């Protein structure tokens, strides 16, 4: 299947007092229609910055896109004139935010916020736009949508509010949706319902879905393919199933091994030892070497490129064949 969205060698720098640092350092992936790609990693790994760069909503300065391309059906979003870029946002590619309270306007009824999209992007009149907004609320299963349309965000539960955020993202029927930790703020049961909703809408609309998460369980519920990010780079590219059964990078192995088999999902995960490197203090060689149980002297100086290893999978590790041995 051909790619809807193709990100190639994306690079984002931050200008800090300590100088220029690489927040996203040569990230490439693609998503086809009907495909769900999980972008996995700890916080600070560059996942959200990648999403913001794709969406064109980076804070710049201090962030600056310094390289790469983001092709949406062949058009490079990074070089599109600002007006066309704005038009594409929402109607062709949309973002589901993590925090529904900050994604919604607190002083506007929810249906009005959805209706605004139809008025601005589709030139609909007031009543037509409102009707479509209520329809959209119904599609994301807000019970009694018509009677709740005039309510304000704070009058909804966290889960219902996240449904409204999803309704806004889907309102203009985008081809690609990026969901950045869409369920992190929710309890486990509601989390599963929201993921089901996203997966169902994705199938119905044949969208490309990019699911950004630190939670392997979330990825497993929705995604078929995954990239694992560490310190601004992709360190493994695999199908989700393969990632679980047989990770080909020590970092992924640590993530998988840290999943408690006997705890309900959403419980606090025992983290793998050590901290991800800060932006301003990247170690030389392999970025993971200070935490890696397989590290050799070579790893301190010699940066491993992301390369094909087996079964169409990729790993950025000199010693990937030793992962999971012991």
Q: How far is CA 205 from the centre of its chain?
A: 19
319 binds, among ligand SF4, Mg ion, none (CB under 5 to 8 A by kind): ligand SF4
Does residue 248 belong to the site contacting ligand SF4 (CB under 6 A)?
A: no
Asked if residues 311 and 254 have their Cβ atoms less than 8 Å apart, the reply is no
Q: Which is nearer to ligand SF4, 93 or 294 (CB)?
A: 294
Query: Which of the ranges 44-52, 153-161, 266-274, 304-312 carries the binding residues for Mg ion, by CB under 5 A?
Result: 44-52
Q: Which is nearer to Mg ion, 229 or 323 (CB)?
A: 229
Does residue 237 belong to the site contacting ligand SF4 (CB under 6 A)?
A: no
Tell me the residue length of the chain: 326
Q: Binding residue for Mg ion (CB under 5 A) from 48, 50, 221, 225?
A: 48
Does residue 304 belong to the site contacting ligand SF4 (CB under 6 A)?
A: yes
Query: Which of the ranges 5-13, 148-156, 181-189, 294-302 carries the binding residues for ligand SF4, by CB under 6 A?
Result: 294-302
Does residue 318 belong to the site contacting ligand SF4 (CB under 6 A)?
A: yes
- Distance of closest approach, residue 288 Cβ to ligand SF4, in angstroms: 4
Q: Phi and psi of 103, rounded to 5°?
A: -80, -20
DSSP 252-284: HHHHHHTS-TTS-TTSPPPPPSS-PPPTT-PPS
Cα(147)–Cα(168) distance, integer angstroms: 18
48 binds, among ligand SF4, Mg ion, none (CB under 5 to 8 A by kind): Mg ion
Question: Which uninterrupted H or E stretch holds 243?
Answer: helix 240-245
What's the Cα-to-Cα distance from 106 to each of 100, 113, 126, 165, 232, rounded to whole Å?
10, 10, 20, 13, 34
Residues near ligand SF4, by CB under 6 A: 250, 286, 288-289, 292, 294-295, 299, 304, 317-319
């Amino acid at each position: 299947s051909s790619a809807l969205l193709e990100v190639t060698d994306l690079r984002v720098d931050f200008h800090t007092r300590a100088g220029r640092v690489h927040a996203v350092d040569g990230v490439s992936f693609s998503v086809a229609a009907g495909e769900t790609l999980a972008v996995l990693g700890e916080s600070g790994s560059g996942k959200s910055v990648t999403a913001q760069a794709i969406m064109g909503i980076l804070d710049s300065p201090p962030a600056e896109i310094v390289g790469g391309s983001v092709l949406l059906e062949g058009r490079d979003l990074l070089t599109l004139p600002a007006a066309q870029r704005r038009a594409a946002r929402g109607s062709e590619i949309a973002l589901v935010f993590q925090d529904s309270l900050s994604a919604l306007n607190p002083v506007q009824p929810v249906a009005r916020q959805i209706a605004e999209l139809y008025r601005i992007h589709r030139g609909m009149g007031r009543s037509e736009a409102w009707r479509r907004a209520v329809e959209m609320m119904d599609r994301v299963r807000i019970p009694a949508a018509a009677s709740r349309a005039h309510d304000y965000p704070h009058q909804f539960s966290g889960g219902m509010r996240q449904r409204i955020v999803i309704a806004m993202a889907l309102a203009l029927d985008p081809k690609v949706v990026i969901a950045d930790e869409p369920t992190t703020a929710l309890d486990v049961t509601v989390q599963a319902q929201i993921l089901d909703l996203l997966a169902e809408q994705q199938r119905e609309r044949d969208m490309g879905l990019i699911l950004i998460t630190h939670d392997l369980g979330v990825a497993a519920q929705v995604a078929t393919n995954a990239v694992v990010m560490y310190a601004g780079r992709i360190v493994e590219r695999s199908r989700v199933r393969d990632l679980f059964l047989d990770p080909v990078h020590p970092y992924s192995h640590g993530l998988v091994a840290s999943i408690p088999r006997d705890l309900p999902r959403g419980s606090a995960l025992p983290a793998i030892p050590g901290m991800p490197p800060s932006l301003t203090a990247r170690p030389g060689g392999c970025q993971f070497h200070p935490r890696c149980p397989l590290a050799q002297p070579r790893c301190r100086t010699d940066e491993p490129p992301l390369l094909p290893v087996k079964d169409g999978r990729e790993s950025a590790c000199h010693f990937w064949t030793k992962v999971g041995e012991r």
